[in-house]
Chains A and B, each alone.
Chain A
Amino acid sequence: MSEKTENSKNYGRRDFIEKGMRITLGLGLAGVAGITALKGDKGGYVWQLDPFKCVRCGRCADYCVLTPSAVKCYHVYDLCGYCDLCGGYLKPDANDLGTAAENQLCPTSAIRRRFIEDPYFEYDIDKELCIGCGICVEGCTSFGNGSLHLQVSHEYCVNCNECAIARVCPADAFMRVPVSSPYLIKGDFTVGTATGSE
């Protein structure tokens, strides 16, 4: 009995604090590791933006960790009118319905215009040149069928844990989508039906 009391006496305040610190530290580290592991393992999800929520604010071009941005313009050919007077390609005050640089809306000439047959023209996006500024998207949406829209291009995206654009997106258009269906292309879904995790 007296021996037990002696042991208890030996287990002093200093021991208690040390043990407490160790347990707290251990739990803290385990917690941080667990949270990190949970955050890091996105279960095969990638970032994407809902084109119906996008407000063409221009931040996709400037806030991506990559230069140029991993957000690119995508063209839904099924929705396109193949117009000569294309609101996404030509400036409204263009001198001519032609390919001269001064007529083009895109600041990097990333849209290629190709004659098909009178009066149809096809418009293709050069992703290497596209900076994701959304000017053409605004033009196409304001004057045309809205066949041009922005998407996170997974050829370029490095899938950051926290997307720098998503953080500043004023329309809350960014979400994580399954890697098996990484794009939200207009025509494949309608307004308000895009599903993903914020």
Chain B
Amino acid sequence: MVNRKSINIVLALLAAMVAFIILFDFVKNRPGRNLENPYEFDVSGFLKVDPSDMISNEYMTLQLPEGKYRGVAYHNNLIYVVADNRLMTVDGNGTITMEVGLEGSPTAVAVGKNIWIAFTDYVAKYDFSGNRIGSWEGYGSRSYITSMVAYNDYLYVADAGNRVIYQCGADGSLIRRIGDKDAATEFMGFVVPSPHMDVDITENGVLWASNPGRHGLVSFNADGTYRSSWSNASANIDGFCGCCNPSDFALLSDESFVTGEKTLLRVKLYDIHGGFKGVFASPDMFDRNGNPPDICVDDRDNIIILDMDRSQLRLFASVTM
């Protein structure tokens, strides 16, 4: 009798243990529970920037209407932004002074003697009232225009799809292709793994373009010949990592560079020789996995960042180097 009672107690204890193990396993492994990942690749360290590297002074944020923003340019105290199917001009107080509808989805904007808007594979010209006054034929099915810059009577069009820059006249006539791979020159062509390729030009007409697959920038003379380049492929803060960086950039009046990067979104400053100077905006100042910012500079060297995920124009004070 005693033996039977003992067996029952042992069985009951075993049953309780089994129930406990099942319950423990259920609680421990239930979906959503944050278990430690033995294979974790922690990239959070790259989202932080040493405070001593920060030169950030974001003095104003202009909230724009919700939209899918694609490009920004500055001209005569007005900021030009393109989004969805519209062009907007914004003054320094964030007031939208003009808004006009466009016939397609824009991919880039440039402002000079006219307003130029790219629509994936072709460019259209607008007057300052927003009236379309012309357009020219597309550059083919591979074309994907990601950036433009106006200089005197010329427009430089960066075609990331065809990996080339077109120098065009005011009427759209093609003057020359710049940046084609050519064994006779030192330049081995653009490497553009994803549609991010930017152009800007100095006051004396030196054209700079991002060469994102080689993690640097390259310059060309006014006649389109290769001039110089610099690059820095590195996961460190002073370099460019990922497959397509710098994705955007703008030139300051002293010809130093403000660069924007994709994936690890950040905006940095490099001197005229490509030397790292500091960070305007660190990754934690943007949405995680957001779109890379488009950048332009006003006539006082303040930096204007188009934050596409937050639909904001973020203004950073100029930095004296």
A residues with CB within 8 A of B: 56-59, 61-63, 80-87, 92-93, 97, 105, 107, 118-120, 133-135, 138-139, 141-145, 167-170, 172
Contacts and interface: CB of A to CB of B under 8 A. Distances in A.
Given A61-B39, A138-B41, 18 more contacts: A57-B37, A61-B38, A82-B193, A84-B233, A87-B241, A87-B242, A92-B235, A134-B39, A138-B43, A139-B41, A142-B43, A143-B243, A143-B263, A144-B263, A145-B193, A167-B31, A168-B31, A169-B31
Interface in B175-231: 188, 191, 193-194, 213-215
Interface string B226-251: 00000001010000011110000000
Interface in B94-115: none
A144 B242 contact: yes
A118 B38 CA distance: 36
Interface of B: 29-35, 37-41, 43, 46, 188, 191, 193-194, 213-215, 233, 235, 241-244, 263-264, 289
B31 A142 contact: no
14 contacts: A58-B39, A81-B193, A83-B193, A84-B233, A85-B242, A87-B241, A87-B263, A133-B39, A143-B235, A143-B263, A144-B242, A144-B263, A145-B243, A172-B31
Given A58-B40, A138-B43, A170 B243 contact: no
B243 A83 contact: yes
Given A81-B193, A86-B243, A92-B235, A135 B41 contact: yes
**Interface residues of chain B: helix, strand, loop or mixed (majority):** loop
Of residues B37, B41, B193, B214, which shows the largest number of chain A Cβ atoms within 10 Å of its Cβ?
A: B41
Contact of B38 (A62, A80, A142): A62
Contacts of B263: 87, 142-144
A105 B39 CA distance: 10
A84 B234 CA distance: 11
Contacts of B241: 85, 87, 92, 143
Contact of A81 (B33, B46, B243, B289): B243
Contact of B31 (A61, A105, A145, A170): A170
Contact of A83 (B35, B37, B41, B213): B213
B43 A93 contact: no
Nearest to B233: A85
Nearest to A105: B41
B82 to A, nearest CB: 23
Contacts of B264: 142-143
A168 B188 CA distance: 50
A87 B263 CA distance: 11
B28 to A, nearest CB: 9
